[in-house]
Chain A
Amino acid sequence: MKKKILLVEDERALCLLYEEELGKEYDITAVTDAEAALAKLGETAFDLIITDIRMPGKNGIELITQIMGLRKDIPIIINSAYQSYKDDFMTWAADAYVVKSSSLDELKARIKQLLGE
C-alpha cells in the first residue's frame, strides 16, 4: 500500500507537479492552506507532511507548530522558496527544510529518508 503524504502548497501548479512527480510512489493529498491541512489531519493518518511556509492565512510555521500540539510523530518537510526562514528556530519542529528548486531530487531523497525507505 502506498504511503500517505499531505502536501500543503498554495500554488496549484506546484500541487499538480508534485502530485504527478510523487504520485507514482505515494498517495498524495494536496491542500492549499493550513486550515484545510488541519482538517485533513483529523480525517486521515498521514505518514508524512510537506508544507510551504508563505501561504494565505496561517503560514507553514504556524501550521507545524499547531501540528506539534496534536501529533509530534509525523515527519514534516518544510518546502519553501526562501532560505531566510531557516533563521526561525520554530522551523526546528520540522524534520527537514528543502528549498524549492526546479529539480525534485532533494525533496524525493528527504521523503525516502524520513519514511525509512
Chain B
Amino acid sequence: MMSELRKDLVSGRWVIIATERSKRPDDFRPRGAAAPAPEAVGFCPFCEGNEGKTPPEVFSLRAAGTAPDSPGWTVRVVPNKFPALNPGPPPPRATQGVFQSMEGRGVHEVVIENPDHALELSDLPVAHIREVLRVFQLRIRAIECDLHYQYVQIFKNKGKEAGASLSHPHSQIVATPIIPKRVKEEIYGADRLFRVFKECAFCRILRDEEAAGKRIIVQNGQFTAFAPYASRFPFEMTIYPKRHSAFFTDVREDELLSLAGTLKHVLTRLKETVNDPPFNMVLHQAPNPALSLKGWPDIHLKSHWHLEIIPILTKVAGFEWGTGFYINPIPPETGAQFLRGD
C-alpha cells in the first residue's frame, strides 16, 4: 500500500502517513519502557515532607488547618526555583544589527499534581484530576491579570524522553511576554478558515471527525478525544470540548469533571496499549483575553481551546527539521482503533 500525504487543516502542515511501514503497539514497547528514575536513590523535592526544598508555594489545595509549605496538600503550585524567565515587566527589545533580543521575563511555575511520587495523573481519581485542571484555570486567571503576560502555556512532560527530569507527576506553566510563533500560526490558520467556513474551524473539524467516527477514541456529552486526521506521531491524541470556547478558563465546573474523566480514560488507554510511553501534553488556547480581544476582537469566535497528547515513540530527525513534514508509521485510524480497544 502506498504512503499518503495528509494536510493539517489549521496549521497547513503536511504529514506522511507511511502505511506500508505500519506497526502494531507492541512494536513500540521496548522504547516505552520506563527509564529508571534519576531520583531512585530516595530523594525528591516534590514529595510531601520536602516542601522546604521548593520555593514558597503560590497556591495549594490542602487540608484545613495545615500551613502553607507544609505537608497536608493535594495539589501544590510553586515557582521554578531556578527559572529561565524571571517575573517583571518586559524591557524594550534590543537590537544588534538585524538581530533582536530582550531580557528573559516571564512566569515559570510547577504544578505538583499530587503528593505521592508513584501516582501518575492517570492513576488519580477523576475528582482529583478535576482539581488539577481547576488549579490550571486558577493559575491562568491569576497570571493573566498581569497584562505583561500575553500567553500562558500549560504543559506536561512525562518520562525522560519527553523532557521530564523528575518522575514525580507534575505539569508546568510558562507565561511569556510575547505570543509564541506556533500560537500565532494557529490563530492565523483559524482566522483564514473562519472566513472560508463561516464558523470555527475546530468546531467544523470536530463535526467531521464525529461523523467519520474512525479516528474517535472516546466521547461523552461534553468532550471528544480523537486521533487527528494528519497526526504527526503514532497514537497522537487530541481532546476537544464540544461547546465552542476559546479560553480554557471558560470551562465550567460540570465540564471540568467530564474533561477529567475523558483525560483519565485516554491516558489509561495509552498506558495500557503502548506500555506507559513517555508523552507530552500541551494545552492550546487563545492568548490572554484582555490583550487578544484588543488585537483580535473576534478571536473568541475563531479560536477553540483543546488538549494535545503526543506520545514519544519516534524520533524527530533531519527530514522533519528540514521540511516541517512528519512521517507517522501508524495511521491515526489504526491508532484510534487500538486506543479504543476494538
Instruction: Show the binding face of A for B, using Cβ within 8 Å.
Output: 61-62, 65-66, 68-69, 72, 83, 86-93, 97
- In the complex, the answer to whether A69 meets B43 with C-beta atoms within 8 Å is yes
- In the complex, the answer to whether B42 meets A89 with C-beta atoms within 8 Å is no
Q: Total A-B pairs in contact (CB under 8 Å)?
A: 50
Query: Does B147 make an interface contact (CB < 8 A)?
Result: no
- Set B54, B83, B166, B170: member contacting A90, Cβ < 8 A: B166
Query: Does B81 make an interface contact (CB < 8 A)?
Result: yes
- In the complex, the answer to whether B45 meets A89 with C-beta atoms within 8 Å is yes
Q: Is the interface of A mostly helix, strand, loop or mixed?
A: helix
Given contact pairs A61-B38, A65-B39, A65-B43, A89 touches B110 in the complex (Cβ within 8 A):
yes
Query: Closest 4 A-B residue pairs measured CB to CB?
Result: A68-B43, A92-B45, A86-B82, A88-B165
Distance (Å) between the CB of A71 and the closest chain B CB? 11
- Tell me the bound Cα distance from A61 to B43 in angstroms: 11
- In the complex, the answer to whether A66 meets B53 with C-beta atoms within 8 Å is no
- In the complex, the answer to whether B45 meets A93 with C-beta atoms within 8 Å is yes
Given A65-B42, A90-B45, 15 other A-B residues pairs in contact with their CB atoms under 8 A: A65-B39, A65-B41, A68-B42, A68-B43, A69-B42, A69-B43, A72-B52, A86-B83, A86-B84, A89-B165, A89-B170, A92-B45, A92-B81, A97-B81, A97-B82
Q: What 0/1 pattern do residues 32 to 57 of B give for CB contact below 8 A with A?
A: 00000011011101100010111000
Please name all residues of chain A whose beta carbon is closer than 8 Å to the beta carbon of B170 when the two chains form the complex: 89
- Tell me the bound Cα distance from A68 to B84 in angstroms: 25
Distance (Å) between the CB of A48 and the closest chain B CB? 16
Distance (Å) between the CB of A109 and the closest chain B CB? 16
- In the complex, the answer to whether B54 meets A92 with C-beta atoms within 8 Å is yes
Determine the residue in chain B with the shortest Cβ distance to A84: B84
- Tell me the bound Cα distance from A40 to B54 in angstroms: 27
- Tell me the bound Cα distance from A86 to B58 in angstroms: 20
List 24 A–B pairs whose Cβ atoms lie within 8 Å, in order of A's numbering: A61-B38, A62-B38, A65-B39, A65-B42, A66-B41, A68-B42, A68-B43, A83-B84, A86-B82, A86-B84, A87-B84, A87-B165, A88-B38, A88-B166, A89-B110, A89-B165, A89-B170, A90-B166, A91-B81, A91-B82, A93-B45, A93-B53, A97-B81, A97-B82
- In the complex, the answer to whether B38 meets A90 with C-beta atoms within 8 Å is yes
Please name all residues of chain B whose beta carbon is closer than 8 Å to the beta carbon of A88 when the two chains form the complex: 38, 165-166
Please name all residues of chain A whose beta carbon is closer than 8 Å to the beta carbon of B83 when the two chains form the complex: 86
- Tell me the bound Cα distance from A61 to B41 in angstroms: 11
- In the complex, the answer to whether B45 meets A62 with C-beta atoms within 8 Å is no
Chain B count of residues within 8 A CB distance of the other chain? 19
- Name, among A61, A65, A83, the residue most crowded by chain B CB atoms within 10 Å (CB to CB): A65
- Tell me the bound Cα distance from A93 to B166 in angstroms: 12
Please name all residues of chain A whose beta carbon is closer than 8 Å to the beta carbon of B46 when the two chains form the complex: 89
Please name all residues of chain B whose beta carbon is closer than 8 Å to the beta carbon of A87 when the two chains form the complex: 84, 165
Distance (Å) between the CB of A18 and the closest chain B CB? 21
Please name all residues of chain B whose beta carbon is closer than 8 Å to the beta carbon of A93 when the two chains form the complex: 43, 45, 53
Q: What 0/1 pattern do residues 53 to 71 of B give for CB contact below 8 A with A?
A: 1100000000000000000
- Tell me the bound Cα distance from A61 to B165 in angstroms: 11
Please name all residues of chain A whose beta carbon is closer than 8 Å to the beta carbon of B41 when the two chains form the complex: 62, 65-66, 69
- Tell me the bound Cα distance from A88 to B84 in angstroms: 12
Please name all residues of chain B whose beta carbon is closer than 8 Å to the beta carbon of A61 when the two chains form the complex: 38
Determine the residue in chain B with the shortest Cβ distance to A83: B84
Distance (Å) between the CB of A90 and the closest chain B CB? 6
- Tell me the bound Cα distance from A65 to B50 in angstroms: 13
8 A Cβ contacts from B82-103 to A: 82-84
- Tell me the bound Cα distance from A61 to B37 in angstroms: 13
- Tell me the bound Cα distance from A107 to B52 in angstroms: 22
- Name, among B43, B46, B84, the residue most crowded by chain A CB atoms within 10 Å (CB to CB): B43
- Tell me the bound Cα distance from A83 to B104 in angstroms: 14
- Name, among A65, A92, A93, the residue most crowded by chain B CB atoms within 10 Å (CB to CB): A92
- In the complex, the answer to whether B82 meets A90 with C-beta atoms within 8 Å is no
Determine the residue in chain A with the shortest Cβ distance to B44: A90
